[in-house]
A and B are shown apart, each in its own frame.
Chain A
């Protein structure tokens, strides 16, 4: 199960942010004006599991109008999830719904997932010490409910369902949007299983390049990288031993 977030119909109401906070008892943020359009949440983190981005752009060809892009961001629930792979305690697991969830009774706050996530989603909560992120409402899914954010979204910008079905719907929607004014740069982000993380469980239809919304253009996590790194480290370890043996003038 997963999300398809269609940013072309997002109206920036932040009902998803509020519903998520309410349901999951996510602590509040200290109120502050950022000056970045209507966005005072700024980014995903331990205490914001949904984040609505507001992008303002003056188009080169159209001096009169400001283009206003809104998109609700969330944990991507990657098919190859870096946070899960690097977690040394096994606190992060793949649920029966295919989602990536942190067990807060196991996490010891080592902070490795924080630097491993290609999207900067998961974060250590300062006053608590453990890492938190979107659970894709694991508790609601267990009783057959849909996640709080999708339920609250008034424009169906956030759609919840089996990822395969959502991908088909997203493809159809993309073709529709591309034919309309302002849809020239529309694209699906994270709907391709061949991408750097094997596709997202929560993917998006964006109207501009990913970095414009604060998303990495080509996120990547591959298991074979860790194998080649260990290979390099083994050679380096042998060099260390060789250097020591040479320095000690050691001969058999």
Chain B
């Protein structure tokens, strides 16, 4: 039986496939990021610090001073860690000041570097003014400046990713800022649930819930807009991270709600909200690798 089948095969089989190739030996067309682990972590620390800075000034205006100061100090911690992460990612860290050599409006990274520099300076000055016992107006002005830059810091990183040739990042460029905004809002609430003052507990819980809702809705909208380009969010490492993010995010919101009378549950929920925000940035970052590595995504997105 086997011998008969073998006889029916052509004497020579072509070494190259007959069908029209859709890529060059399956090799990637666009490049995956050259960035290292610091970058997605910075997306998280910068985003959370940005939202916390906005909390600080809004809390001051609404007379919740302990809440405001607590948020400002956490934001300052984020503003100190963030540049360190970014500098250590550079191929030539000693040249980090070249980031402020020009201001280029077409480069989200250039605008972001200036935003981060201004943000950190304003927060540092606010803290110094507060510690030195300068008039409240000085502290308030500096907090206000950081509070304006903060929300930009929270989601310019989505613009940065959208302004690339990566098909999945580029395809989601108009909705990713909403995902990042929601996630930063939830993370700020999470940080305050975890370590904020008692007076702001109810507000912190609401931040987690509102942020989670915004982020999840925006993520769903982005996935549906992406269509086949959303696959990197469903398979492989990007998919696993996205799922872990989704679970942590919902669990955090539920625990925070359940923790109205239990400080322990509230802290746990806050930690989950923070962790889910970090996971989100990892998921988006990793999905970009998958989208770059398989040329089919790019070719299909450019053919239609």
Q: Contact at B30–A55, with CB atoms within 8 Å?
A: no
Binds A, one of B14-22, B237-245, B257-265: B14-22
Measured between beta carbons, the chain B residues less than 8 angstroms from A89 are 95, 98-99, 101-102
Q: A58-B14, A120-B29 are in contact. Are A233 and B158 (CB under 8 A)?
A: yes
In chain B between 5 and 54, which residues have their CB closer than 8 angstroms to a CB of chain A? 14-18, 20-25, 27-35, 51, 54
- B177 x A232 contact (CB < 8 A): yes
Give the Cβ gap from B33 to chain A, nearest Cβ, in Å: 5
Task: Kindly specify which of B128-136, B159-167, B227-235, B268-276 makes contact with the partner chain.
Answer: B159-167
B20 to chain A, nearest CB (A): 8
Q: Which of A77-110 contact B (CB under 8 A)?
A: 82, 85-91, 106-110
- CB-CB under 8 A from A129, the residues of chain B are 90-92
- Beta-carbon contact of B55 and A248 below 8 Å: yes
Q: How far in angstroms is the closest Cβ of chain A from B86? A: 8
Min CB distance A172 to B, Å, is 28
The residue in B30, B180, B210, B211 that gathers the most chain A C-beta atoms within 10 A of its C-beta is B30
Contact: A225 with B24, CB < 8 Å? no
**Does any Cβ of B come within 8 Å of A161's Cβ?**
no
- Whether A66 is near chain B, meaning CB under 8 Å from some CB there, is yes
> B90 near A108 (CB under 8 angstroms)?
yes
Decide yes or no: A240 and B54 within 8 Å by CB, A90-B104, A110-B90, A232-B175 being known contacts: yes
Chain A residues close to B by CB (< 8 Å):
34, 36, 39, 42-43, 53, 55-58, 60, 63, 66, 82, 85-91, 106-112, 114-120, 122-125, 128-131, 209, 211-221, 223, 225-226, 228-230, 232-233, 235-241, 243-251
**Minimum CB–CB distance for B213 against chain A, Å:** 9
CB-CB contacts of B144-188 with A at 8 A, as 1s and 0s? 000000011011101110111110010001110110111011001
Chain B contacts for A119, CB-based, 8 A: 29-30, 165
Distance in angstroms between the alpha carbons of A107 and B94 in the assembled complex:
11
Is the Cβ of B31 less than 8 Å from the Cβ of A223? no
Tell me if B77 is interfacial: C-beta within 8 Å of chain A.
no
- Distance between B137 CB and nearest chain A CB, rounded to angstroms: 18
| In contact, A229 and B23 (Cβ under 8 angstroms) | no
Q: Are A108 and B173 in contact (CB under 8 A)?
A: no
What's the Cα separation between A56 and B107 when bound, in Å?
40
Contact A214 B23, beta carbon cutoff 8 Å: yes
- Nearest Cβ on chain A to B161's Cβ, whole angstroms: 8
10 contacts between A and B (CB under 8 A): A57-B21, A89-B95, A211-B21, A211-B295, A218-B303, A229-B158, A229-B162, A246-B206, A247-B210, A248-B64
Among B24, B180, B207, the residue within 8 A (CB) of A55 is B24
Q: Is the CB of A232 within 8 A of B106?
A: no
- B residues near A90, Cβ cutoff 8 Å: 101-102, 104
Q: Separation in Å of the A216 CB from the closest CB of chain B?
A: 5
Residue of A nearest to B153 (CB): A237
Cβ 8 A contact of A108, one of B98, B152, B206: B98
Q: Report yes or no: B91 in contact with A36, Cβ–Cβ below 8 A.
A: no
- Given A115-B166, A120-B28, the answer on whether A131 and B109 have CB atoms closer than 8 Å is no
Find chain A residues with CB under 8 A from B93 CB: 108
Which B residues lie within 8 Å of A107 (CB)? 91-92, 95, 98
A67 closest partner in B (C-beta): B16
- Chain B residues whose CB sits within 8 angstroms of the CB of A42 once the complex forms: 25, 27
CB <8 Å contact, B302 and A112 = no
Q: Smallest CB–CB gap between B257 and chain A, Å?
A: 13
Are B62's CB and A249's CB within 8 A? yes
Residues of A within 8 A of B203 (CB): 247-249
Establish whether residues B107 and A88, one from each chain, have CB atoms under 8 Å apart when the complex forms.
yes
Besides the contacts A106-B101, A243-B182, what 7 more A-B pairs have beta carbons closer than 8 Å?
Answer: A58-B17, A124-B91, A228-B174, A235-B177, A236-B177, A240-B154, A247-B189
* Residue of B92, B162, B185, B299 ringed by the most chain A CB atoms within 10 A: B92
Cα distance A109–B35 when bound, in Å?
Answer: 10
* Option from A66, A217, A245 in Cβ contact (under 8 Å) with B299: A217
Pick the most buried of A39, A88, A116: most chain B CB atoms within 10 A of its CB. A88
9 nearest CB pairs, A to B: A109-B91, A129-B91, A214-B24, A108-B95, A237-B151, A247-B206, A88-B110, A236-B177, A111-B34
